[in-house]
């Protein structure tokens, strides 16, 4: 089965990833991965770091002549900002003369990390807890994404809201219906969303969101929001209802919740369904062109922890970024005296980027569920067992 690990610090030499369990024969290139890394760096409201870094992946192992060979794939993304941090982030030496960070920022891992690991310098926490780590996740999950696309499973996303700017659901659903038909993958939805600086399909809401971000930046504040991930081409029967840890909705929620600043996940219309009668929630069966389908998809394509053949849909809430230009009250851990929190270079709003990261992290979950059902050590073997419905590009 597929699993991955990441390593590296925000201002270290590089962030790295290793992904193993991939079938052999998947065509992959650095350009394909770089495109997803580029998408992760976009979005109105990003901070200065995105002007420094232009992420490019180096594939170090596991790929030969453009195809995976079944061994672990190792990836590296160099940090350009490392040149300014060579003394402060040196691997060797004693750290003598380097100022220590002792004031935690509310909402970050600063305090809990320092207490947990017994650090007297919060810099050790900041560097690994940083969302810079998600660049490595996007890189290795993109290799998995290519495998799923090879078997006809496509993933897209868009932003539902930023602050109080909420996309009109009717307009949004109209675009989703048009871009996620059986004859085309959800990548078309992503193409539409990517045309917006905030990845919102509703242009009016997008303009309002940009204005909200401008106001937040002027105030020295930050904004969060909600995004939606949509997966097409998923067959019936991925996941299982027989044990709690095999339920696909739980696994997907865990993957998305693991992204920095994500504090809530729902499958389908989970939260809205909680206020409705059951007769207004559950998706009635129909037969269309000889196939069993549903009149609606309020369940988000998953029932009993198992995919039901409909489009898989999930939404997640990202809290406002914790680093504020006008910091909140804090305490110096060294002196125990009250003070203002530190300001570490950061974004004003990263919801658009978070939606791209979410597209990535669901890939290994879906791929493992797929491999559990269909199996195979090479793409050729897998395609003998599973015939994807071709998508029209």
The pLDDT, as a whole number, for residue 393 is: 41
In the sheet that 312-318 helps form, which strands lie side by side, from edge to edge? Answer: 165-166, 154-162, 225-232, 312-318, 262-267
Return the axis-axis angle of helices 133-150 and 351-374, rounded to nearest 10°. Answer: 40
Domains and CATH numbers, the chain: 3-385 (3.60.150.10)
Q: Which helix (H) or strand (E) holds 77?
A: strand 73-78
Q: For the CA atoms of the chain, what is the radius of gyration?
A: 22
pLDDT digits (tens, 9 = 90+) for 26-60: 999 999 999 999 999 999 987 665 556 689 999 99
Neighbours of 247 (CB within 10 A): 18
CA distance 315 to 159: 9
pLDDT digits (tens, 9 = 90+) for 81-136: 999 999 999 999 999 999 999 999 999 999 999 999 999 999 999 999 999 999 99
In the predicted structure, residue 338 carries a pLDDT above the cut 80:
yes
């Amino acid at each position: 089965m597929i699993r991955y690990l990441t390593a590296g610090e925000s201002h270290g030499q590089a962030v790295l990833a290793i992904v193993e369990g991939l079938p052999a024969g998947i065509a992959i290139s650095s350009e394909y991965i770089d495109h997803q890394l580029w998408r992760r760096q976009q979005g109105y409201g990003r901070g200065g770091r995105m002007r420094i870094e232009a992420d490019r992946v180096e594939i170090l192992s596991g790929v030969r002549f453009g195809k995976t060979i079944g061994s672990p794939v190792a990836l590296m993304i160099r940090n350009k900002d490392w040149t300014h941090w060579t003394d402060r982030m040196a691997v060797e030496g004693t750290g003598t003369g380097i100022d220590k960070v002792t004031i935690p920022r509310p909402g970050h891992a600063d305090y809990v990390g320092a207490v947990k690991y017994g650090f007297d310098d919060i810099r050790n926490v900041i560097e690994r807890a940083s969302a810079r780590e998600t660049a490595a996740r996007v890189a290795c999950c993109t290799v998995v994404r290519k495998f799923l696309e090879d078997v006809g499973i496509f993933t897209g996303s868009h932003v539902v809201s930023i602050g109080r700017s909420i996309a009109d659901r009717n307009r949004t659903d109209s675009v989703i219906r048009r871009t996620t038909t059986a004859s085309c993958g959800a990548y078309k939805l992503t193409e539409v969303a990517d045309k917006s600086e905030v990845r919102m399909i509703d242009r009016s809401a997008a303009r309002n969101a940009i204005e909200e971000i401008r106001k937040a930046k002027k105030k020295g504040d930050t904004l969060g929001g909600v995004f939606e991930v949509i997966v097409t081409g998923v067959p019936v029967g991925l996941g299982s209802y027989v044990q709690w840890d095999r339920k696909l909705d739980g696994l997907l929620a865990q993957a998305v919740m693991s992204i920095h600043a994500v504090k809530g996940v729902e499958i389908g219309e989970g939260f809205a369904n909680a206020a409705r009668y059951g007769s207004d929630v559950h998706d009635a069966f129909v037969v269309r062109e000889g196939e069993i389908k549903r009149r609606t998809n309020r369940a988000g394509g998953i029932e009993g922890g198992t995919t039901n053949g409909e489009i898989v849909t999930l939404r997640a809430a990202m809290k406002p970024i914790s680093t504020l230009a006008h910091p909140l009250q804090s305490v110096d851990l060294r002196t125990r005296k009250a003070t203002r929190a530190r300001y570490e270079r950061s974004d004003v709003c990263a919801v658009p980027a978070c939606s791209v990261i979410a597209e990535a992290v669901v890939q290994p979950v879906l791929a493992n569920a797929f491999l559990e059902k269909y199996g195979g050590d090479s793409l050729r073997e897998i395609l003998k067992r599973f015939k994807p419905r071709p998508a029209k590009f």
